[in-house]
Amino acid sequence: MSAAARSSRGSSALRFGRFAAMGTVAALILIAGVWASWGTAQHVMLTKGRERGTVEVARCGEGICTGPYTPVSGGSQPRAEVRLEDSVAVEKGRTYAVVLKPGGGEAVRSGPAGVLYAWVPLGGALLLASVVVAGGLLRTRWAWVMASLGAVLLTAAFLAV
């Protein structure tokens, strides 16, 4: 066997190894983004049978805002206080449409703003994975598509919230 044939076979194995490793890293980043988003998104997107209503934010502190809950959906009961994650988009004195998580003490924003905000971790994962796809897999078109989707998702969430 000639040295050129061995070298060609060796470089093919290295290319395949790089492709497999970087593909795995990119897939894990995207899976982590979906996993992080789904924890909130499932409550916002799959609202059938869930309690929906509004929360008027009365107090905020230590990452949590609280306020009275007024039901909108049938079968939901008013509550003196529910918790809503304190983020840049939550202000004291404002009223927000929410969906209660099972158990009834914690609420997540609903509507288009809530859906977009829930998928923000996926937007970040798309941006991060696009770097891996471009640099590790040498797939620049796919990387640009992923980066563009991530940027659009993050921008839409920022504007909606």
Those residues with Cβ within 8 angstroms of residue 89's Cβ, 6 or more apart along the chain or in another chain:
109, 113, 117, 161
Range with lowest mean pLDDT among 27-41, 43-57, 145-159: 43-57
Residue 88 confidence (pLDDT): 62
Mean pLDDT of 74-83: 90
For the chain, the domains span 50-109, 110-160
Mean pLDDT of 138-153: 96
pLDDT band at 12 (very low <50, low <70, confident <90, very high): confident
Q: What's the pLDDT tens digit per position in 115-126?
A: 999 999 999 999
pLDDT of residue 3 exceeding 90, the answer is: no
DSSP reduced 3-state for 115: helix
pLDDT band at 14 (very low <50, low <70, confident <90, very high): confident
Residue 2 confidence (pLDDT): 57
pLDDT band at 8 (very low <50, low <70, confident <90, very high): low
At 20, give phi and psi (nearest 5°). Answer: -65, -45
